[in-house]
Each structure stands twice: as structure tokens, then as C-alpha cells.
Amino acid sequence: MPMFQRPTAIRRKTLRMILGASRDAYPNEFGAILRAEHGVITELLLIPGTVGGRRHAIFQLHQIPPDFTVVGTVHSHPSGVFHPSHEDLRLFSKFGGVHIVTGHPYDESTWGAWDYAGQPVSLDVVA
């Protein structure tokens, strides 16, 4: 079984896809699952049944296929505050190793990443 490696980077095109999906979902929240290869977040998984409302994104985690490249979640905060809420911290503690939260207006300066314990982590944006 592969050992978990917390990502240290995200591809610029993946970050732009996340920000675009967050803008498209506004004023509702957007939510997806993150995949990584060799420590770099490269892809989003859209999980059937994920519901985005004005103050929530509800993930159907039981719908995630067994996949060792899944490393965490991403969701948006239409309020613009891109720090995790108490509900976010509960999810982080139960699933994944890195979680991204984006905030309105969803540009490259309004997002952050956190680990399973809710501690900020740095992700380099790479080509």
C-alpha cells in the first residue's frame, strides 16, 4: 500500500480550474476532491451527489472510488473569507491530508490550504 505524501505544490492550471469553478458556482459553494501525483495536486474529482448551497458544500464521501491519489478536498466560501469554518475543521479531521478553501472574488490571492488538523500549509504553484 502506498504511503501518504502530503502535497507540497499545485499545478497552476488546476488552481485556475478550481478558481473558475468557484466563480461559476457563486453565490453557492463549489466542492470537489483533490488528486495528486508525486506531491503535486494535478486534478479535481467531481463526486456525484455533492451539493453546494449558499453556506455549505456537502460531500458524498462514500461515492469516492478507492484511489490512493485522492489527498483531500477543495471548496469555496462565497463570503470571501477563505479560512476554514468549524464545520470545515470537522471534515478535515476525518478525511484527507490537505484541504483548499477559496474565497470570493476567487483570484490567485484568495485561497489557502490546511492540513487535517486545520493548520495552514504552503502549496507552491507550479507549471
Residues with a known catalytic role: 29
Alpha-carbon distances of 124 from 12, 22, 51, 67, 127, rounded to whole Å = 9, 20, 29, 24, 10
- Alpha-carbon distance of 94 to 92, in angstroms, equals 5
Place of cell 483570484: 107
- How many other CB atoms sit within 10 Å of the CB of residue 9? 18
